[in-house]
Structure formats: structure tokens, C-alpha cells
Amino acid sequence: MKFFVDTADTAAIRELNDLGMVDGVTTNPSLILKSGRDIIEVTKEICDIVEGPVSAEVVAKDAAEMIREGKHLAEIAKNITVKVPLTWDGLKACKALSSEGHMVNVTLCFSAAQAILAAKAGATFISPFIGRLDDINLDGMQLIEDIRTIYDNYDFRTEILAASIRSVNHITDAARVGADVITAPPAVIKSMVNHVLTDKGLAQFDADWAKTGQKIG
């Protein structure tokens, strides 16, 4: 399973990247706003840090303008993945950009039917949003499972990029049902290390070690 980091916070990306935990990065207009930085400048810095795909999202609504924006973003670096929304125009832009050899991430996917269209349009990645489906009492993980089954049935090569991940369980469940990639905020990735029994065990070892009166080295 590949780990993408869902942020435009370059300090957080560097910290995880130094540990070998970053296979790519995803950004979106909300994350660019949160960074407080210029989209081109911050995306270039991210591409300099990370070798894998870095998703940068277009904001136009019509296909021709999405293609123009996508090509502009793709000039930032070789590892740019152009992110387009799952609309009819987004699919047209996906087809045009992927036919020209650009990686394309089709985002805001909320149904298996949408995921089929994205694969047919040549998407490199499809981004189903787990958390936002769960928010409205639908089953985000079931969508990942359904897309996995459908893509495998027909040998679609589009990678399933599980997005809108809010918890550690989302990550392990996405891994269990066969998502190719997860993208999660740095804090969620870092919280994967936490376990109450690890903390408890360490406290016990500390207490017992103090009683030995020994030192190492």
C-alpha cells in the first residue's frame, strides 16, 4: 500500500518523507488556503521534497480551461499529477491530459458508477472520499470495496486512492479491502503509532528498570 500525505504543509511532508513514509502528496484548494502560500510556489517546494506523484488541483469548471490549467500545473515538475473533479468536463479534461501522458487524479468520487467513468477516461488515480460519505451516514469503506471488485473484474489499471481519511481505522480498513493508495493528513498518519498497551508496557519497563539501579553504557 502506498502512503500519500494529504497536506500542503511542507514541514510535515519533510518529517514523514525523512522516515520513508511518503510515496506521494495530495493537495486541493482548501489545503492551499490552509498553507497560506502561493499554489505554484508551495507545489514546487513539495515536488522538490517528494519523488512520487504530487496532486495539484485545477479550479476551472469547463474542460478547455481545466486542460489549460492542468498543463500549467504540470509544468511545475515531472511528478505533478493533475487533479480534476468528477464532472463531465472533468472527465473530458482527464481524457485529454492522460492521452498526452500526464498523470491524472480524478477527485470528489462518491459512487462506483463515477469510478467506472474515471477509469474509462484514463485516470491514473480515482479518489473516493470515505469520510465525507460517512458524514452523511453512507458507507465510505463499502465504496472502496465495490470499486476494488469492479476494477479487478475488468482489469482497470486506475489506482484506487482512498481519500477523506479521518482515522487510523480508515487506513487499516482501506488496506484490508485493497485500496492501492491512502492519502491522509499527517496527524492521522502519525497517530498510527499510538497504542495504550505500548504506553502501559513502556511505563512498566521504566519502573522496573529504575529498580535495577543499572545504566546502559
Give the binding site for ligand G3P (CB under 6 A).
6, 26, 28, 127, 129, 131-132, 163-164, 166, 183
How near is the Cβ of 162 to ligand G3P at its closest, in Å? 9
Q: Which is nearer to ligand G3P, 99 or 172 (CB)?
A: 172
Supply angle C-alpha 186, 187, 188, rounded to 5: 90
Q: Which is nearer to ligand G3P, 172 or 198 (CB)?
A: 172
How near is the Cβ of 104 to ligand G3P at its closest, in Å? 15
Task: Say whether 211 is catalytic.
Answer: no
How near is the Cβ of 213 to ligand G3P at its closest, in Å? 50
Q: Which residue has the cell 481505522?
A: 169
Three-class secondary structure of residue 17 per DSSP: helix
How near is the Cβ of 97 to ligand G3P at its closest, in Å? 19
Q: Quote the cell numbers at residue 14.
A: 519533510
Q: Which is nearer to ligand G3P, 5 or 91 (CB)?
A: 5
Among candidate residues 71, 156, 173, the one with its CA nearest the CA of residue 120: 156
Quick one: which H or E segment has residue 143? helix 140-154
Are 158 and 125 within 8 A, CB to CB? yes
Q: Rounded distance, CA 19 to CA 193, Å? A: 13
Q: Which is nearer to ligand G3P, 10 or 127 (CB)?
A: 127
Determine which one of 71, 78, 83, 95 is catalytic.
Answer: 83
Q: Which sequence positions are flagged as catalytic?
A: 83
